[in-house]
Amino acid sequence: MSERRLKVGVLVSGGGTDLQSVIDAGINVVKVISSKEGVYALERAAKAGIPAEAVTKDQYPDIHVRMSKIADKLEEAGVELVVLAGYLSILTSDLLDRFPKRVINIHPALLPKFGGMGYYGMNVHNAVIAAGEKESGATVHYVNEGVDKGPVILQRSVPVLEGDTPEDLQKRVLEIEHQILPEAILKLEEELLES
């Protein structure tokens, strides 16, 4: 008898390097949903044979309707854990209430620092360097209705080196993201399947 695997759904908005790290780790991804059409993350999913589609603002301008649609599609796929991997929309209770304590996010900083509204992508790395921080890193955390406010699951740091550009720092942080996102999912898989 094969060992039961957690069914994971991944929400994306761009190139999907975090998604790729999850696929490469052998995690059982059963659905990928993008907030935008034509992003490379959808191609990565297709190459891995994972059902994927876009659910966009253009299709569903009302965020509550959009979040409900996404939740429907995740439930239809049997998803048990929802992973935000570079997903650039704020989630509402329409989705969160249907996956209580089962939605996680990867953030490119050491939360609680450099989290919240406006802190995404290069904005985070620019802010870290501008603040003169000596270290940065990545955080996997639970998602709740506060932006980047959910409890931390896993965190790892990298040094901010003298003369770093935001791009240099981004590259270093991304390497850490690609390690800790699969680690966190596997940790949760163990906990959720035991409970």
* Per-residue pLDDT, 142: 97
Asked whether residue 1 carries a pLDDT value surpassing 80, the answer given is: no
Topology given in CATH for the domain delimited by 8-194: Rossmann fold (3.40.50)
pLDDT tens, 53-101? 999 999 999 999 999 999 999 999 999 999 999 999 999 999 999 999 9
Counting runs of H as helices and runs of E as strands, what totals does the chain give?
6, 7
Can you tell me the distance from the alpha carbon of 162 to that of 147, in angstroms, rounded to the nearest whole number? Answer: 30
Residue type, 175: E
The whole-chain average pLDDT of the chain stands at 96
14-41: pLDDT as tens digits: 999 999 999 999 999 999 999 999 999 9
Q: How far apart are CA 19 and CA 190, in angstroms?
A: 20
User: What is the mean predicted confidence (pLDDT) over 130-145?
Assistant: 97
The pTM for the full model equals 0.96
pLDDT of the residue at 158: 98
Tell me if residue 107 is catalytic.
yes
Percent pLDDT > 70 in the chain is 99
pLDDT at 73: 98
Q: Which is catalytic among the residues 64, 107, 141, 178?
A: 107
Comparing CA positions, the residue from 23, 58, 57 lying closest to residue 43 is: 23
